[in-house]
Amino acid sequence: MTDTSQNHPESDVDQVADQNAAAHRQRGAAKGTASKFMLFIGASWARTISELIVGFVMAPLLMGSFGLVLFGLYMLIVHFTAAMVGPLRVSLTQLFVKSMTSATASGDDRRIAEVLTNVAVMAGVVGIAFMALGSILSFLAPHLIDFPAEHEIHVRTAIFCEALVIGMLVMRNPWLGLFLVEHRALSFNFDTMMLRWIDLTSFGLAFLPFGWDTFTAFLIIRTVLMGLHCLVRVLLARRLLPAARFRPSLISWKAIRDLTRTGALTTAQPFTGFAFDVIDHYLLNIAFGPIFNAIYAVVNSLRSYARRFGADASVGGEAISADMHERGAHETLVRSLLASMRLVSGIMLICSGMVAIFFGPIVDVWLGAAMSKDEELLKIMTYEQAIDLAWIFVLILLVGGVLMEVCIAGSRFLYGMGLIGKYSGILFAAGISKILLAVSVTVLLLSPWELSFLGKGGFEATLLFPASTLLCQLFFFGFLFPRRLIKLANVPVGRYLTQVWLRPLAAVLPPLAAGAVFVLFIESWTLWHLGLTFVAVGLAFIPMVAFVLLTSEERHQFFNVLKGSWARIWAKLGRKPAHEG
């Protein structure tokens, strides 16, 4: 005992009471955290499924109405701007959530308003800068992009409108972040889901007689609807936290400078995603031409489906982690960190495994008819060779993709703990290393030197790009980042390996084995075959999730959330659940 406890024997009882009370608070916090996680994950998956449906419908509509060339130019502009602006948007959101969570915990209305005001100024400067840059680039479009002369006005308009949209989305980011701060998962994901439905609505309205051609009408209507949507979301977000008001008198250039310094570090995670997800797509086109670019696009689409479901399992981690960190609930925070990484690991493994196992049947059913008859493809390789090449691409990329998404899930919690300076250097180094390796591969492939080991004459050389990706991911996300995370979170290595890898692997191996059996015994695949086998594998995965991937406490919380949701639905219908009748 301490000196104090020796002088006051009742202090021992007080200490035990305090410890029991703390444990009770931790358990209560854990229960609330589990519910918040499940709401964030469910809402994110609903958004992802909705976006996939809209994307599946939109692609053939745009292609059929505007033509393949104009569709390709539009997607190039949207993809490029999204990839370039993504790091800044994510950075602003993370910066705002962390700062505002700390401000709300203090209960100081002035500090809350100060955070929103200064982050809003930063977002406004960035948004206006992108609008101005887009206006300049729209005039320089003929010097930057190769396109037919008859589409010049379309390309200029597309660049200008996309710059306006991106600028507005960036400027509304601080208010959107309030939904994360207040743990409004449904509202936050509804906002991002609506962006895709605006695209579909704009396409339908574009056929009304506005006096413009359909493509121009689509761009203008989309820009106007995006602006109205941003305005409505800002007005709704203001009601969440009345103290969060924009007050010009609270603008502090010192605070903005400090926020900018922190915000620069938060670009590490989205910059890494840009380096690993986007750079190969462009460099393959430079080194090998559009056919290989198309093959990689198929690979990237299927890989992104697996990645999105896994990444969604950690959405909101920054806000939840920051909240627990402010309350001093360290043990609950560590459990939540490992739970999030375990869920992401399990979901990434099952989704990636299904893509790898069913890749051939998926491509056959989805694109086989078009690819097997494509004359440009057949000049370079057979359809079977293209499928084999794409499958090897997928296998290489999925392995590193699982490692990276699991580490990014962990980084969200470390960010909420205020430890971004301790790990951001690893993420920046990973992204820079990948870019340097990919550029080096491109230079070697385009060089006049005879380097026989590169296999320039065959399409196997394209595998150098995913190989460089895997090399970086194995080192940075398979070794360096986990080592840093274990040290920062003070987690035993054995506990980390069991929670993040052994339990997820045990949960996914049986259903994936069942999927492999289907592939071996089904010779001719149709859409019905794919749908039924996916359902079968999913049903086999459900009990493994419940009894292997989730802990007993998490399982209990999951059923409580379902029970509460069911009760709310019945209450809105004016009825009572049967067990209450």
pLDDT digits (tens, 9 = 90+) for 255-276: 777 767 766 666 666 677 777 8
Residue 511 has pLDDT above 50, yes or no: yes
Q: Which among 5-19, 91-105, 189-203 has the top mean pLDDT?
A: 189-203
How far from 89 is each of 127, 173, 188, 270, 500, CA to CA, in Å?
A: 10, 7, 15, 9, 29
How is the chain split into domains, by residue range?
25-266, 268-508
Residue 113 has a CB neighbour count (10 Å cut-off) of: 19
Q: What is the total residue count of the chain?
A: 581
Residue 412 has a CB neighbour count (10 Å cut-off) of: 23
Q: How many CA atoms lie within 13 A of 79 on its CB side?
A: 14
Q: What is the pLDDT of residue 199?
A: 86
The CA distance from 360 to 378, in Å, is: 18
Residue 128 has pLDDT above 50, yes or no: yes
Going by pLDDT thresholds of 50, 70 and 90, the confidence category of residue 9 is very low
Q: What is the DSSP string of 399-464?
A: HHHHHHHHHHHHHHHHHHTT-HHHHHHHHHHHHHHHHHHHHHHHHHHHSSS--GGG-TTSGGGGGH
Distance from the Cα of residue 141 to its chain's centroid:
30
Q: Are 522 and 529 in contact (CB under 8 A)?
A: yes
Residue 14 has pLDDT above 60, yes or no: no
DSSP three-state, residue 124? helix
pLDDT digits (tens, 9 = 90+) for 401-451: 899 989 988 988 887 787 878 888 898 899 999 999 999 988 888 877 655
Q: Are 128 and 167 in contact (CB under 8 A)?
A: yes
> What is the percent of the chain with per-residue pLDDT over 90, rounded to a whole number?
19
Residue with tokens 């035990």: 16
